[in-house]
Structure 1
Amino acid sequence: MLQKPLLEFTDKGIYCAKGNFYIDPWQPVDDAVITHAHADHAYTGHKRYLAHHLSREVLYYRLGEIQLQTVEYGEKVMKNGVEISMFPAGHVIGSAQIRVESQGQVWVVSGDYKTEDDGVCTPFEPVNCHHFISECTFGMPIYKWKPQSEIFADVNSWWRQNVAQNLATVIVGYSLGKAQRILQNLDLSIGNVYTHGVIENTNEALRRNGIVLQPTHRITQESVKEEVRKGIIIAPPSSVGTPWMRKFGPYSFGYCSGWMALRGAKRRRAADRGFVMSDHADWTGLISAIDATRCESVYLTHGSTATFSRYLRDIGFDAHEVHTLYGGEEEEAPAQSASQPSPEGEGFEEKIPVKIAMEALPPGEGLGGAAL
Structure 2
Amino acid sequence: MTTPLLVFNTNGIYCQQADVYIDAWRPVKKCIVTHGHADHSRWGHQQYITHTNNVPIIKHRLGDITVTGKQWNERFVINGVTFSLHPAGHIVASSQVRVEYKGEVWVFTGDFKTEDDGLAEAFEPVKCNTFITECTFGLPAFSWEPQAQVFEDINTWWAENKAEGKTSVLFGYSLGKAQRLLKHLDPSIGEIYTHGAVENMTNVLRPHYAFPKTTKVSRETTKEALRGNIVIAPPSAHGSTWIRKMVPYETASASGWMTFRGARRRRAVDRGFVLSDHADWEGLLETIKATGCEKVIATHGYTDIFARYLREEMGLDARTEKTQYEEEGAEVGTKQEAEVDA
Range of TM-score over shorter length:
over 0.9
Q: Please give the alpha-carbon distance, in whole angstroms, between the structure 2 residues aligned to 1:86 and 1:335.
A: 31
CA contact (8 A) 1:62 1:334 kept: no
Instruction: State which of 208, 211, 222 in structure 1 corresponds to 2:209.
Output: 211
Corresponding residue of 1:194 = 193
Q: 1:325 to 1:122 in 2, by over 3 A?
A: same
Instruction: Identify the residue that residue 352 of structure 1 maps to in structure 2.
Output: none
Matches of 1:147 and 1:212 in 2, distance apart? 21
Residue 307 (1) aligns with residue 335 (2):
no
* Mean CA deviation greater in 76-85 or 189-198: 76-85
When the two structures are aligned, how many residues end up with a matched partner? 334
CA contact (8 A) 1:175 1:332 kept: no
* Aligned position for 1:184: 183
Per the alignment, residue 331 of structure 1 pairs with 332
Q: Is the Cα–Cα contact under 8 Å of residues 110 and 134 in structure 2 kept in the other structure? A: yes
Distance in structure 1 (CA, Å) of the matches to 2:147 and 2:257: 16
Contact 1:198–1:332 (Cα < 8 Å) also in 2: no
* Secondary structure in 1 matching 2:332: coil
Rounded Cα–Cα distance in structure 2 between residues aligned with 1:17 and 1:189? 54
Cα offsets for 1:277-310 (capped at 9, x unmatched): 1000000000001111000100001100011011
Amino acid at match of 2:268: A
> Which SS does the other structure have where 2:261 is aligned?
coil
Is 1:48–2:47 an aligned residue pair?
yes
1:152-186 per-position Cα deviation (integer Å, ceiling 9, x unaligned)? 00000000000000111000000111101100111
Offset from partner CA, 1:126-175 (integer Å, 9 cap, x none): 00000000000000010001100000000000000000001110000001
For 1:109, the equivalent position in structure 2 comes to 108
Contact 1:238 1:332 in 2 (8 A): no
Amino acid at match of 2:332: E
- Between the aligned partners of 2:62 and 2:303, the Cα distance in structure 1 is 30
- The within-5 A match list for 1:56-135 is 56-135=55-134
Q: Is 1:269–2:270 an aligned residue pair?
A: no
Q: CA deviation at 1:224?
A: 2.9
Relative to structure 1, is the Cα distance of residues 122 and 334 closer, same or farther in structure 2, using a 3 angstrom cutoff? farther
State whether residues 88 and 96 of structure 2, in contact with CA within 8 Å, keep that contact through their aligned partners in structure 1: yes
Aligned 8 A contact 1:168 1:248 in 2: yes
Shift of 1:5: 1.4
For 1:268 and 1:254, locate their aligned partners in 2 and report how far apart those are by CA, in whole Å. 12
CA distance in structure 1 between the partners assigned to 2:333 and 2:323 by the alignment? 21
Q: 1:233 aligns with which of 220, 226, 231?
A: 231
Query: Do residues 36 (structure 1) and 63 (structure 2) align?
Result: no
The answer for the alignment partner of 1:339 in structure 2 is: none
Structure 1 CA distance, aligned partners of 2:296 and 2:14? 16
Aligned residue in 2 for 1:13 = 12
TM-score by length of 2: 0.95
2:294 to 286, 293, 296: 296
Deviation larger for 257-266 or 91-100: 257-266
Q: CA deviation at 1:332?
A: 4.0
Which segment is superposed worse, 325-334 or 46-55? Answer: 325-334
Report the counterpart of residue 282 of structure 1 in structure 2. Answer: 280
Letter in 2 for 1:82: V
**Residue 149 of structure 1: aligned partner:** 148
CA separation of 1:106 and 1:81: change in aligned 2, threshold 3 A: same
Q: Is the 8 A contact 1:134 1:300 kept in 2?
A: yes
Deviations 1:36-74 (A, max 9, x none): 010110000000000011111110110001000011110
Residue number in structure 1 paired with 2:340? none
AA matched with 1:178: K
Letter in 1 for 2:301: G
Q: Matched residue of 2:246: which SS? A: coil
- Taking only aligned residues, the RMSD between alpha carbons, in angstroms, comes to 1.4
Give the superposition deviation at 1:229.
2.1
C-alpha contact 2:235 2:334 (8 A) present in aligned 1: no
What is the DSSP-based 3-state SS (H/G/I as helix, E as strand, rest coil) of the residue aligned with 1:85?
Answer: strand
Question: Which consecutive residues of structure 1, in runs of 5 or more, have no partner in the other structure?
Answer: 337-372
Name the CA distance, whole Å, in 2 between partners of 1:249 and 1:317.
54
Q: Please give the alpha-carbon distance, in whole angstroms, between the structure 2 residues aligned to 1:282 and 1:143.
A: 5
TM-score by length of 1: 0.88
What residue identity is the alignment partner of 1:270? A
